[in-house]
Structure 1
Amino acid sequence: MKKVTASGKTIEAAVNSGLEQLGTTIDRVKVNVLEQPSRGLFGLFGARPAKVELTLIEEPAAAEPAPAEAEPQEAETAAVEDVMTDAGGSEDEEVAFFEEEDSEPQDPDSRSGEGGAEEAAEAAERFLREVAGAMGITIDISRSETRDGLKLAMSGGEDMGLLIGRRGQTLDALQYLANIVASRSSRERVRIVLDAENFRERRRKTLEGLSERLAQRVVRTGKEIVLEPMTPQERKVIHTALQHHPKVKTFSKGDEPNRRVVITLK
């Protein structure tokens, strides 16, 4: 049984690092938290990173699945924190980032659930409603199947911004936790894609527009632009938006959780 040990600033970051090493996703591993992170005195002295052990869940031998569609220069992992900068100076446009600072769910060291995809989805919905209820928000949730997984779309009016957070940070955190809840409730692999008030689509359009403006800047100045660490999904948006650009190209560099996109001349 394949295992890896990984560390990071938060449990989220440590898990992401382990997933990168195994080349897999959260629903295919068992997570054991070895050490909780510590901020140290005043956040300056004695800080200790989180440490986790990930065990790959073995599956019965089966026919090899068809290879997934290649993503432009990307592997599916998780990332943290992100602000827009470039190699030659500052940029006043920012790109989203996600960093979960505090609580983590209990480590999913076993899949005790006996149900299937329906039970997993219901468990995730219950979790989301409980979280929203604790914040004084009543939400409606609709389901739909997408190529990326089971989409749970939340709606609830003006207060939904609290569940989305600054540039989607809270929404990303809820998606991560909802996937763990779903994973523990079912022996079937169910990937939850969480959205709220169509935020994902609006964010995608924002990133596409930003990528075009940055490409023009690279062409104009001749200098490459380096983005600060982004989530794999947002890196993919940048890569896809510029993959057919006649004058610039993109690639990713660095290791999770500090992997970033570079836009440069061809």
Structure 2
Amino acid sequence: MKQMTATGKTVEEAVQSAIEQLQASRDQVNIEVIDEGKKGFFGVFGTKPAIVKVSIIKDPVQDAETFILEVAEQMGSPVQVKTEVDGRDIFIELTGDKIAMLIGKRGQTLNSLQYLIQLAINRESEQFYTVMLDAEGYRARRKETLETLAHRLADKALRTGDMVKLEPMPSYERKIIHASLQDNQNVETDSAGKDPKRHIVIRPL
């Protein structure tokens, strides 16, 4: 966390000095008064400076946006971002001319970027934020693909009488598979293995 300890004749003077050095505004910082100081006799004898510690308040949304903008630029795929916040859930939609590069095969690059953003913004945060990173509606298209896959493989399990293993998936994609088959009375689904190789198993009943 970016912070500054500063001194001054008064608390206000010390605070102002720290804010200027941090290049921030007053509403962007937390202020901790370490010592209020003393004026002393005749303003000279026994004078003691005020000491304050001023730290910049972390903005997880701004941090998330800055992170993805910088990474996308370095990858040669600059993007525009649109962000929505619901409590501690941060939804970021990316658009750009080379968006496929950021999605990657079966969304693997997008999932990795999402994971890295979440790590970055929660590293020094007292609250945990969840990030959902999307790119030009990819998540909705992927959801439809997974739902179709779930029903197709459930049919395969029933047809062969054997369990069917799916490829490893992140937790929210596994949830889509579970949800797609929860009303199917002929099969059951379980998650098996450990991340990053955790996967769905479909069993006929």
Q: Same fold (TM over 0.5)?
A: yes
1:94-152 superposed Cα distances (whole Å, 9 cap, x missing partner): xxxxxxxxxxxxxxxxxxx8525xx1111111111111112333311111235882101
Letter in 2 for 1:209: T
Output the CA distance in 1 between the equivalents of 2:159 and 2:195. 31
> Which ranges of structure 1 fall in alignment gaps of 5 or more residues?
1-112
Of the candidates 55, 60, 64, which is equivalent to residue 124 of structure 1?
Answer: 64
Higher relative contact order (CA 8 A, sep 6+): 1
Question: What is residue 142 of structure 1 aligned with on the other side?
Answer: 82
1:148–1:161 distance in 2 versus 1, CA, 3 Å:
farther
1:173-223 superposed Cα distances (whole Å, 9 cap, x missing partner): 111111122123643322211111111111111000011111111122212
Report the TM-score, using the length of structure 2 for normalisation.
0.67
Contact 1:120–1:182 (8 Å) recurs in 2: yes
What pairs up with 1:1-266 in 2 under 5 angstroms?
114-116=56-58, 119-145=59-85, 149-157=89-97, 159-184=98-123, 186-266=125-205
Judging by fraction of residues, say which structure has more helix.
2
Letter in 2 for 1:164: I
CA-based RMSD of the aligned residues comes to 2.0
Contact 2:77–2:102 (8 Å) recurs in 1: no
Judging by fraction of residues, say which structure has more strand.
2
Output the CA distance in 2 between the equivalents of 1:134 and 1:230. 27
Contact 1:120–1:185 (8 Å) recurs in 2: no
Describe the SS at the equivalent of 1:192. strand
Output the CA distance in 1 between the equivalents of 2:87 and 2:150. 24
Describe the SS at the equivalent of 2:185. coil
Decide which moves more: 146-155 or 204-213: 146-155
1:254–1:135 distance in 2 versus 1, CA, 3 Å:
closer
Question: What is residue 20 of structure 1 aligned with on the other side?
Answer: none
Describe the SS at the equivalent of 2:196. coil
Report the TM-score, using the length of structure 1 for normalisation.
0.52
Describe the SS at the equivalent of 2:189. strand
Letter in 1 for 2:111: D
Percent of pairs with identical residues: 39
CA positional deviation for 1:247: 1.2
> Which ranges of structure 2 fall in alignment gaps of 5 or more residues?
1-54
